[in-house]
Structure 1
Amino acid sequence: MLCFSFYLLRRPKHSQREGTVCTAVQKMMNETACPHVSSDFSGRFLLPVYILVFITGLVANGWGLKSLLHNWKKLGNVNVFVFNLGLTDILYLLTLPFLVVYYSMKNKWIFGEAFCKITRFCFNVNLYGSIGFLTCISVYRYLTIVHPMRAMGRITLTHSVIISVIVWLLVSVQSLPDMFFTKTYGNNTEKCFDTTDNDHVEDYLKYTLGWTLTGFCIPFLITLGCYGHVIVVLCSTNSIDKVLKQRSLKLMFILILLFSVCYIPYHVFRNLDLWTRVLTKQGICYKWYNGVYIARQISRVLVCLNSALNPLIYLHAHENIHAQLRQLIQQARQAVMRPSVPPTQFSLV
């Protein structure tokens, strides 16, 4: 309406200029409808979560890897994938102290651009390495339950190691281009973006769409297909051991939980946030962009929780590990509830 009124006040010979002014007016109106969200919001939001994930993830993965190595001979070839899953988590957890410093200093990066890229690379390797090894675990479970005669004896330790190496290589190749994108504001190295700056956001959006397809969508569909078939077999067959059936169903639930809570929101809102940045750069702006930005920060919190939730996989790798955890919890509960001994009962020497 404003542009139409402006047009009525002008003469036809200035129509080209009027269109330019009209576009500028529309752009101004769109920008005022989309107020800027301070980046300090992400710092206040991510800082406590990173601290919590670092502590719980380090303890849980440390205990899980120790238990896994202790029961190495009792576990199947799937332990190779579970072990590599723990390694990806440890790799990411060791970078969290630097991000804690970054956000505690109000988004001021003091470790240089090169280490910024290494930190983001470790996060991406953890994310897509976790997805890759969870997919391998799903396929292994599928073959063990649905095709036990074909899988028994054919999948050796060597095969599991080779597959793990291939997963590491594929994840590294997918994540490597991210290191070539700018992570700072020009020459200002006091920032450390998890994506890139606005000058390269269009190219980064194209890259991350392909990355999402190969690194997340395809493994997710494979996992869904495997466990969909497993559910059908478990529900229609009574000859399968009840313990194996319960363990498989629990593992399936954990994997679906990890994908639904940690991975799906992150990929959806990362690409959507990049798309809104591209539109904003073109002068197209709407109020719902702020909602996308906030959802993006929440998804970053959820995806980093995978390093603390992945140790749940250890619990279902073998029943001995589950028994050890129950015994550990029982001992801790007895130690807390045990009444203190009165000082008078101690003998004096």
Structure 2
Amino acid sequence: MMNMDVVVGGILDPNNNNTYDFNYSDYMYEEDTETRASKAVFIPVLYSVELVIGFLGNGLLLAVLAQKRRSWSISDTFILNLSVADILLLATLPFRAAQATQQCGWCFWGFLCKICGAVFNINFYCGIFLLVCISLDRYLSIVHATQLYSQKKPRLAHISCLSVWLVSLILTIPHWIFLEATKDECVHSYTDWKLASRLLHHTLGFLLPAVTLIICCSCILLQLKRSAEGLQKQRAIMVILPLVVAFFLCWMPYNITLIVDTIMNSAKKPDIVLSGNPQRSLKKALMVTSGLGCMHACLRPLLYLGLCGNFRKRTLAMLKRTTVESESSLWELGVGEEAPPDQSREEQEAMTSVDHQMPSSQC
């Protein structure tokens, strides 16, 4: 007869160095400690830098717009709405930074959890939808020689911006409903409604606008490559294209991570606490990529300073407390502005021939 005492004793004997511990609490504690330590250092520093640069840049932008209010343009309308969306996001960063340094979960009121989550998504939706409006106007103007917006009738531009805000608010309704403050953080409780809202975000809020931006910018670049367009049109795409690229660089990592998280959660597999738990890795990735997405709120004013010469001149004049002559295009986007018709080669040759003939006739 087999002696079971020897077998059991071999496993549970305290003197045995090969004992197995099936308690994962130690691992979870170490992992949580490591995650919180990284959050307490990297995330607050990132949010603090974004907050300072973002408020300075957008505040300067609003000051320039306030000086230019007498000669308002369609481009100013879109830039103002983009700046307001960025300022709203920047206002929530202190709560996110403070939360990253806490060890007690979401330490603020529950409604602030909903507000911070909703504003985060509103900023993303407003940013991508307003860029779509600007790109569509430039696409129609350059490729099809027609305009979506007109300086003579600015009502359509205001209606478009109002519609963008309305659609953004509608898309963030699930965040107002399902976001809640738990003992760990401000998160969604995963439900079927959350899956539906995620799919709506991935399709209507990200993939469809992203495809529209890519198609518009590609067609504009091809048109400019095939024909010699005017300098004003070339400057417009040289401003719009970096804005679109910067937006994708900041928000693409977060949206890719969010898509992976949606796929894993839709599988509805039970969580298994193992070293290398994908759920824990995704949580870290979402935390970091969301911080990178917020960087776009402070990056946009820097792009304006680097790309828009008229904005840079007016900014320097305002800082020096000097006056500057009104410029026709502050942002060089060309939205709603009628570009002068391009001269054909025959007209240019005729003008050059006249120029060459004029001195001889005078002599």
Is 1:70 aligned to residue 58 of structure 2? Answer: no
CA distance in 2, matches of 1:137, 1:116: 32
Is 1:264 aligned to residue 252 of structure 2? Answer: yes
State the Cα distance separating 1:155 from its structure 2 match. Answer: 7.4
Correspondence for 2:110: 113
Matched-pair identity in %: 23
State the Cα distance separating 1:104 from its structure 2 match. Answer: 2.4
State the Cα distance separating 1:147 from its structure 2 match. Answer: 3.5
**For 1:103, which of 100, 103, 120 is the aligned residue?**
100
CA distance in 1, matches of 2:192, 2:40: 25
Q: TM-score, normalised by structure 2?
A: 0.70
Correspondence for 2:285: 295
CA distance in 1, matches of 2:28, 2:268: 9
Is 1:238 aligned to residue 228 of structure 2? Answer: yes
Is 1:160 aligned to residue 157 of structure 2? Answer: yes
Correspondence for 2:166: 169
Which has the greater radius of gyration? 2
Q: Is the partner of 2:82 in helix, strand or coil?
A: helix
Q: What pairs with 1:10-159 in structure 2 (closer than 5 Å)?
A: 37-38=31-32, 39-40=35-36, 41-72=38-69, 76-106=73-103, 108-151=105-148, 153=150, 156-159=153-156
Give the number of the structure with larger relative contact order, counting CA–CA contacts within 8 Å between residues 6 or more apart.
1
- The AA in structure 2 aligned to 1:264 is M
CA distance in 1, matches of 2:240, 2:282: 32
Q: Is the partner of 1:94 in helix, strand or coil?
A: helix
Is 1:248 aligned to residue 237 of structure 2? Answer: yes
Q: What are structure 1's unaligned runs of at least 5 residues?
A: 1-27, 332-349
Is 1:196 aligned to residue 188 of structure 2? Answer: yes
Moved more, 313-322 or 83-92: 313-322
CA distance in 2, matches of 1:82, 1:74: 14
State the Cα distance separating 1:269 from its structure 2 match. Answer: 0.4
User: Does structure 1 conserve the Cα–Cα contact (< 8 Å) formed by 2:135 and 2:217?
Assistant: yes
Correspondence for 1:19: none
User: Does structure 1 conserve the Cα–Cα contact (< 8 Å) formed by 2:132 and 2:212?
Assistant: yes
State the Cα distance separating 1:165 from its structure 2 match. Answer: 0.6
CA distance in 2, matches of 1:128, 1:111: 25
State the Cα distance separating 1:223 from its structure 2 match. Answer: 0.9
User: Does structure 2 conserve the Cα–Cα contact (< 8 Å) formed by 1:77 and 1:155?
Assistant: no
State the Cα distance separating 1:33 from its structure 2 match. Answer: 11
State the Cα distance separating 1:71 from its structure 2 match. Answer: 3.1
Q: What pairs with 1:272-287 in structure 2 (closer than 5 Å)?
A: 272-277=260-265, 281-283=269-271, 287=276
Q: Is the partner of 1:311 in helix, strand or coil?
A: helix
Q: Is the partner of 1:231 in helix, strand or coil?
A: helix
CA distance in 2, matches of 1:273, 1:107: 25
Q: Is the partner of 2:103 in helix, strand or coil?
A: coil
CA distance in 1, matches of 2:283, 2:203: 22
Correspondence for 1:347: none
Q: Is the partner of 2:107 in helix, strand or coil?
A: coil
State the Cα distance separating 1:87 from its structure 2 match. Answer: 0.4
CA distance in 1, matches of 2:46, 2:320: 28
> Superposition RMSD on alpha carbons, in Å?
3.4
1:97–1:269 distance in 2 versus 1, CA, 3 Å: same
Moved more, 90-99 or 322-331: 322-331
Q: 1 or 2, which has the higher helix percentage? A: 1
1:147–1:227 distance in 2 versus 1, CA, 3 Å: same
Q: What are structure 2's unaligned runs of at least 5 residues?
A: 1-21, 322-363
User: Does structure 2 conserve the Cα–Cα contact (< 8 Å) formed by 1:53 and 1:305?
Assistant: yes
Q: Which runs of 4+ in 1 moved over 6 A?
A: 31-36, 326-331
Q: Is the partner of 1:183 in helix, strand or coil?
A: strand
- Number of matched residues? 295
